[in-house]
């Protein structure tokens, strides 16, 4: 059983429609803000629902090959650019899939 505030290793496999990384722990879906596909993170579960959880990154174990430094100093603060930390070609590829 999963527990709120417990720390898990999560490999991010996808992006949600709102730009959060999506990973699974034994089949249980966890949304991780500011994570992108390919990231391997240690995350704390901050919210636990019946069908999913929300986590926060505590440690970037292994960054995605598509992770870049955001060009905007306000990234992560204003909420206008959810995936600015993802390589532009990778962004386009993810958007094509949708």
3-class DSSP state of 19: coil
The confidence score (pLDDT) of residue 98 equals 61
pLDDT, one tens digit per residue, over 59-85 is 999 999 999 998 888 887 777 788 889
The answer to the question of residue 23 being in a domain is yes
Q: Which domain holds residue 82?
A: 7-97
Q: The pTM is what?
A: 0.89
Q: Which residues of the chain have pLDDT under 70?
A: 97-98
Question: Radius of gyration over alpha carbons of the chain, in Å?
Answer: 13
The confidence score (pLDDT) of residue 97 equals 65
Domain total of the chain: 1
Query: In sequence order, what DSSP letters do the residues of 53-79 get, joined into one string?
Result: EEEEEEEEEE--TTB---S-TTTTTSS
- For residue 40, what is the domain's CATH number? 2.40.50.140
The answer to the question of residue 42 being in a domain is yes
The confidence score (pLDDT) of residue 77 equals 78
The answer to the question of residue 1 being in a domain is no
């Amino acid at each position: 059983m999963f527990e709120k505030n417990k720390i898990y290793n999560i490999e991010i496999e996808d992006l949600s429609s709102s730009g959060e990384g999506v990973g699974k722990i034994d089949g249980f879906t966890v949304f991780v803000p500011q994570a992108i596909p390919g990231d391997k993170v240690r995350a704390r579960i901050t919210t636990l629902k019946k069908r999913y959880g929300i986590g926060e990154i505590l440690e970037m174990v292994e960054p995605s090959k598509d992770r870049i430094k955001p060009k905007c100093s306000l990234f992560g603060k204003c909420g206008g650019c959810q995936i600015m930390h993802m390589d532009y070609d990778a962004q386009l590829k993810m958007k094509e899939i949708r």
